[in-house]
Structures are given as C-alpha cells and as structure tokens.
Structure 1
Amino acid sequence: MSDQTRPSRPVVEGRDDSGPVPVEYRFSHARNGTRHLVVVFANFSARDEYGFSNGVLDQVRANILWIRDLFDGGNTYYLCKDMDFGVERSVAALIARFAHALGLTADQVTMFGGSKGGTAALQFALRHGWGNALAVVPQFRIGTALHERRPAAAALMMGQVTPEKIAALDTVMPELVAGTPHRHTNVYLVTSPQDEHYGRQVAPFVDLFRDYPNFNLVFNDSPLITGHDTVTARTLPPIMGLLNLLVAGIAPRLGQVRTGGEQPGRDTAPIDALLAATERFPRPRVDFPAPGTTVPGHAVALGGLAPARPGSASG
C-alpha cells in the first residue's frame, strides 16, 4: 500500500539508541485511554519507510508505534545487516520498552504490517510472544524474495549475496512458525491467489500453522486484485475491521474464510429499472441543448419536461 501523506493524528518522533542498532520511530497516544498498542511495520513502498502512515489509522483508538525500516540507508525486513541480527534485537527491545512503559500485557499488543511488514509482524509476534499478529501478504522465503526482487536490500542484509545466505534467510520464517513456543498468538494472515508471491511464498507454509489454536486465513479472490501491490487496498475494510476488534480486546476465530467475489461487469438493468419505477423525484428530460453541444456562455437556454412528483397534483 503506497502512502501519500502524513497522518493527521498527533505523533511524537524519536530514536532509540539503547540497542546494538539505532531505531527510529513515531508514536501516537491512544484515544480515551484505550489499553492496547499496535506496532506497525512498513512495506517497501511506504512513505519515509513508515507503514500505514497515510492517515488510515487515524480513527484506531490504540496507542500506535510506527517503526521505521531504514538502517544504513536501506531496508532490512527489520532483521539484519550483513547477517548480523542486531536490527531484530534492537527493534524487539524497543517494542518491549513501549509495552512496559504503557503497562500493557502481551495480549494487549498487536503486530501489524503488509508485505515485508507482514513478515515482520509474524516474526516479532511469534518470536517474542505478543498477543496478535495481523499480517497482510507476507513473504516466508525472505532470502528468495530479496534475491529475486530487491537487490539493494539483499546486499544490505546479506553483505555478499550467496546461495548459502539466501537459503539461511529462507529458513527464518518457516523454522520460527514450526518451532515457536508462542502458538497461542492470535494469527490473522491476509492473502490472495492474485498475489504473484502466493504460490511460492505463502501457500506452501500455511500448513505450518495447523497446531495454532487461533490461526485465521483471510483469502481475497477479488477479480479487481491485479497483483501483490493491490491486495491491501482491496482488502482494507476487513483488515481495519479485524484491527479494531483486536484493539477492543476481541480476538475473533474465523478459521479459513474467503472474501472478494465482486462482479464488476454484472448487468445492472434490473436494479436500474426498479430505481426508475420507484424514484421519489423523477429525473427531468432535457430536450435542448443536445448532449455535448457547445453553448454560448452569455445566453444559455434549457428546454424539456420535469415530471410531477408522484402523488402530487399535476399543473
């Protein structure tokens, strides 16, 4: 999801230097004292490397912590530089410090992001035991995704890009999902068959969640989705619905559900006829000027018929 403008809700910007790597962030207080923290991770096209910072979260009542994925001038999946995972440790420490300062328990914290931000949401929730992960179109084979599509990020994260390092990063997420002790995290994974990453980056790994008590797969098969970059926008209403439920302390159990199903080319003649027959104020008929006719600006004349309102006396 491409961000266009800064959020209108008040934010504080800061930098935490307590870990091995400095981490930049933005923070916005909850409305009316809501006891929840949403941690937001960025996708590759996020403005200023802060995800969902275009105002879409303005009405979310939680405390919101946006974490910037910009380390030494590049993106890192919030994981590593030159295979040193100090980035992950620093980000994890920052999240823990905010949750502690707010006096929140693990179940009052939601990790949220799309694309590489969705991968990060799963990574931090499952590695550190936070209550909820809302992950939109994540990638599970990080090394492959970097090597094939993001050479600059691959060089930053791996140093010298080698098959061994690609394979090592490819195992990070599958091994975490299969081996984490934090299976009681509520996981919401949003995906689509129209995402070109789906077949290689998501589908082979869904079964790793089979033992999770509350794993939910939201599958959007909308014909209006044209690829990876459009899934979030086409699924935004249910995504925001889920996020607001989690903030309210409600963790729904959806299982595997489908959304989409639009029919953009469907014939609207029947509903148009119904509207025309029951319209409260019938549309006027314009006889002249004809549609598309250029008329002088100083003298415009209109002619036609305005039907009487149903039930009123005709003149």
Structure 2
Amino acid sequence: MDQLLALRVFVRIAESGAFSKAADAMNIPRPTVTKLVQDLERHLGTRLLQRTTRRVSVTPEGAAYYERARRLIEDLAEMDELAAQTRAQARGRLRVDVGSILANMILIPALPDFRARHPELHVDLGVSDRHIDLISEGVDCVIRGGELADNTLVARRIADLDWVTCASPVYLKARGVPKHPSELTARAHGPADRARVPGHAIAGYFSSLTGRAFPLEFHRGDERLQIAGEAVMAVNESTAHLSTLLSGAGLGQTFRFAATPHLQTGALRTVLDDWTRPRHPLHVVYPASRHLSAKLRLFVDWVAEVFAPFDDRPPR
C-alpha cells in the first residue's frame, strides 16, 4: 500500500464527503480510491469512514485521524516548497474558480503573462457564477464578489467595482429614457383604476443559490431605493446578463468595466446617471485550514496586480 497516497485520498474524501469527488479531484480511478481506503483501514485496524447511500462521513476515529493526516500532508508540502526554493521556477497545479465576466474580460486575457512568468505552474480555471464550496470541491482559491460571511475563509481584497445602469439604444428608443428609478416599476393608472401601467422591462440577474432575482439598487444622497420591476428575462450568469442588455431585451445594472467597451461604441447607453449603487467588493479567497503554499501565494499576488487597474476605489 502507498500509505502517503492513501492518506491524501482519505483527507480528500473526508473534506468532500464522497469517494467519487475525491477520485475526480485527484484524477485517480474510483476503484483505486476505494481500495486505498480499505487498505488503510485494514492497516490501522479501525473504520475511518461511515458509508451510506447518500453520503460518506468520518467516524470518531476517522475525525481524529483526519486532523493528524491533514497536518502531516501540509507539513510535507511545506518541506517540498522549502527544498524547491533553490529551483528557478515554481511548479505544480492550482485549481481556481472565478465568475464568468471576470474570467472572460480580465483574468483569461492576462493568463498568458502568468504562464510566461511561471511556465511550470499550471492553472485549472473553473468559470461560472455558481457559489462553490472550496473544501469539498478541492479548489485552492476563488475570486469572489460581495461581502464575505464565512469566517473560516481567508480573503484578500483586490478591487471594488462600480456599477452602471444601462440599456441598448434600440430599447431606449422603444420604451423611453427613465428620469427617476420609480419609473422602472409598474404603477396604477389612477385612483379608481386598478389597471397597471407597465414600467420598464428589466433584464434581471438571479442567484444560482436561491433562484431569486437581485433587485436594482439606487442611491442618491440620503435616498435608498431597491427596484424589482418587471423582469422580462433573467439569467444567472454575468456574461449572459451583459448579452441580454446588448440584445435590447431590457434595462439593467452591470459592472462599469464590462459595459465600457459597449458604451464607447454606442451599443449601450447609461441612464439615471445621478443615481449610484454601492461598489462591489472583490476578494481572492482561500480556506484558512489550508497552508498558503508558495505557488498559491504567487498566484494571489499576481491576481492582485491584474485587478489593480479595474479598482474603482479612490486613490489613498
């Protein structure tokens, strides 16, 4: 039995809750994963994992063994890194996850520069707006927007992004240019009339986690408005949302950096410019329980450099 490999497999199963996820993450055949765990349990003379039809969980003995095994693997990784510092190039593979529009417009165009600097360091990039669990999915770090509620994660703030409210000229010609956010919602025609006058069509964005659409936000002085409006079309992916705005389907809010090329060509126009929305914070996030390896540190520092030109925070 390759005990070190068996330890790595056991740790990954304990974190992901599934033999199949461990096999996929480590690129090992599933029967091999099963045999390694069986051999490890036979070697130790105790059951480490409790298997059910729905999930795999650690036994009390497995929980204690997991903590020691995880620390051992982290120590081995640190030993390898210290020994490798004499080498000219960082080596290995990183699994990174990032939202669609950030990947397509910022990160992917810059990746050749990272590869040129570190040709032996490979990046597996997961691209989606889906909220992921870093531990269970074996991800080294994510670039994540919004406020962070999980205090088990370490976050480095890399930018704050401005929003714009915009629509295509075709849409604005057909529906008119709103002068106030209240015009975006349907409203009663008159006191005695129950009929509703349609507001503007909203190109909406809904959460992959909850399935609910995010409202548009408008701030001006002490005024704070949230507008749901009539979402004639809603998507849960940021690049598709920009395409929806460009198609003329409706009016919505997107990041200024994403809209800027289309504002310059006239494919989009901003509206309600005297209203703002709070900037969207961006972080590079990784699990606090994991050792910040040299290769991950290199990537995090590089990402901060790449996103710096897109940071809309005022200079300090």
The verdict on a shared fold, with TM-score over 0.5 as the criterion, is no
With a CA cutoff of 8 Å and minimum separation of 6, indicate the structure with the bigger relative contact order.
2
Structure with higher strand content: 2
Normalised-by-shorter TM-score class: under 0.3
TM-score of the two chains, using structure 1 as the length reference: 0.24
